[in-house]
Amino acid sequence: MSISEKMVEALNRQINAEIYSAYLYLSMAAYFDSLGLKGFANWMRVQWQEELMHAMKLYDYVVERGES
């Protein structure tokens, strides 16, 4: 089942947004680590992983439909 070019572009933008959010969470984790706030750093790492998971689900959806 193929999807429209407009939808592929929208999904690719969302994938980019998810990865950018992951980057922000990881940078916050590094900041909290530098302050010795291990609990906060760990929570940000959890959020980082969640954002990457969102991005990969969207990526897999697009690729399974033969798009890129």
Judge whether residue 46 has pLDDT over 90.
yes
How far apart are alpha carbons 4 and 17 in whole angstroms?
Answer: 20
- Per-residue confidence (pLDDT) for residue 66, from 0 to 100: 87
Beta carbons within 10 angstroms of residue 1's beta carbon: 5
How far apart are alpha carbons 37 and 16 in whole angstroms?
Answer: 29
How far apart are alpha carbons 54 and 14 in whole angstroms?
Answer: 9
The model carries a pTM of 0.89
The position carrying tokens 């929208």 is 10
Give per-residue pLDDT as tens, 1-43: 789 999 999 999 999 999 999 999 999 999 999 999 999 999 9
How far apart are alpha carbons 31 and 20 in whole angstroms?
Answer: 17
